[in-house]
Amino acid sequence: MLYSRDEIVFSAGAVVFDPTEEKVLTIVHKDNASGREIVAFPKGGLEKGESAEEAAVREVEEEAGVHCRLWPSAGLMGLEVRYSEMAGKTKAIYWYAASFVEMRTQKLEDYEDFSIRWIDADKALDVLSSDHCKKLLKTCLAYKASVAAADATRN
């Protein structure tokens, strides 16, 4: 199926690992309809003229107050495509893996009420709210393990 650019909302986000690479950054908020807690990775819309990579870094900083650096060798870790009820359009989300650089100030929109939580990567699969976030984390962890194994064979 072919979509025109005005039929799709493009977003980007990242799975950010702490300096030990043992914890991942999540944002936590309440679902407006059900009131239940949602635990997810930070993401948001691309701005005009912005690349997906630039948007991922910007959105992590805005939503979580965390400056991060994308893993240069990893590239795109996942592409999530789904219908967005809120936008009334198809949504394409580019996902990356990243490392923590430093804390900064959250820059939330008036309607956003996010808190951040660093969760042990191995326990996050039990805490994340959506299946796509769980699958994304598994992909990032597998990539991280493959890099570690390759480094071990070189040494």
130 belongs to a structural domain: yes
Number of domains in the chain: 1
Residue 2 pLDDT > 80: no
What is the tens place of the pLDDT at every residue in 20-57? 999 999 999 988 788 899 999 999 999 999 999 999 99
1 belongs to a structural domain: no
Average pLDDT value for residue range 62-76: 90
The span from the CA of 114 to the CA of 125, in Å, is: 20
111 belongs to a structural domain: yes
- pTM for the structure as a whole: 0.88
94 belongs to a structural domain: yes
- DSSP H or E segment with residue 11: strand 8-17
Beta strands 23-30; 115-120: pairing state: antiparallel
Residue 24, classed as helix, strand or coil, is strand
Residue 6 pLDDT > 90: no
CATH number (domain holding residue 144):
3.90.79.10
79 belongs to a structural domain: yes
Residue 92 pLDDT > 70: yes
95 belongs to a structural domain: yes
What percent of the chain is predicted at pLDDT more than 90?
63
2 belongs to a structural domain: no
Split at pLDDT 50, 70, 90, the class of 4 is: low
For residue 85, what are the domain limits?
7-154
Residue 94 pLDDT > 90: yes
82 belongs to a structural domain: yes
